[in-house]
Amino acid sequence: MLRELHTLAAATTLLVAAASAQARADTLVNVSIDTSSLSGQAGGIYFQFDPGLNADPASVSIANFSVAAPGALDPASLLNFSDGGVSGSLDSNNLTIANSFALNDYGEALTFGSGITFLVDLSIPSVLTGDSGSGLVIQVTGSDLLTPLLTADPSGNLVTMSYDTTGALSVLSTNPETARVSVAETPEPGGVVLPGFALVLLLLSRKRRVSGRILPRSVP
């Protein structure tokens, strides 16, 4: 019995530690941009992910980036740039932008095709303690990687994503007919850990009952 209690206590400690380690919750946003009106032209794509004052550490990853034919990325362009907490690149399909500096941005040249699609994976702490959130802006640009296209928004942004100190997310397309966005939140990490915790407790409890059961004597 004492050994089982020790086992149960150890399992509980491990599960609590696992739950604590799951400190981040992701939000996935699918982005689809119709660039058929620009097909064949030289241009670019621009991302900027900046923190508010005293914001918690967070990051965005851009995955499954695709430019429809006849377009393509131009990773060799001398106009390509990255600043601040940027790692990876679009052409290697591992671009990540952290909000670790006041300015964190990335631009890459491309030739437009009929469309651009990609997945934004926004990773923020599940418990926010900062004084503000952070925001991501996405622009489609001209060949100078500076002139915004496909939007009448004064700031030039085509898609914006931001969250506040409660973690509430806002996703906006300034040109919904051209840039379509859809949000799909992943389950909270705790939702995965707690059922596992309950299962371990049930199995340990069952094992204790079976091991403590008195078996009937066999009749000779």
86 contacts 29 by C-beta, under 8 angstroms: no
Q: pLDDT per residue over 135-165, tens digit each?
A: 999 999 999 999 999 999 999 999 999 999 9
Helix axes 2-21, 189-211, angle to 10 degrees: 170
pLDDT of residue 184: 81
Q: pLDDT per residue over 179-188, tens digit each?
A: 999 998 655 4
Q: pLDDT per residue over 103-130, tens digit each?
A: 999 999 999 999 999 999 999 999 999 9
- Sign of the dihedral through C-alpha 211, 214, 219, 220: positive
Q: Which residues of 141-173 are buried (b: 16+ CB within 10 A; e: fewer)?
A: bebebeebbbbebeebbbbbbbbeeeeebebeb
Altogether, the residues listed in the chain come to a count of 220
Q: Is the pLDDT of residue 175 over 80?
A: yes
Q: pLDDT per residue over 21-65, tens digit each?
A: 344 568 999 999 999 999 999 999 999 999 999 999 999 999 999
pTM: 0.76
DSSP for residue 36? G
Strands 81-83 and 72-73: unpaired
Break the chain into its structural domains and give their ranges.
Answer: 2-19+191-211, 24-187
149 contacts 157 by C-beta, under 8 angstroms: no
pLDDT confidence band for 3 (50 / 70 / 90): low
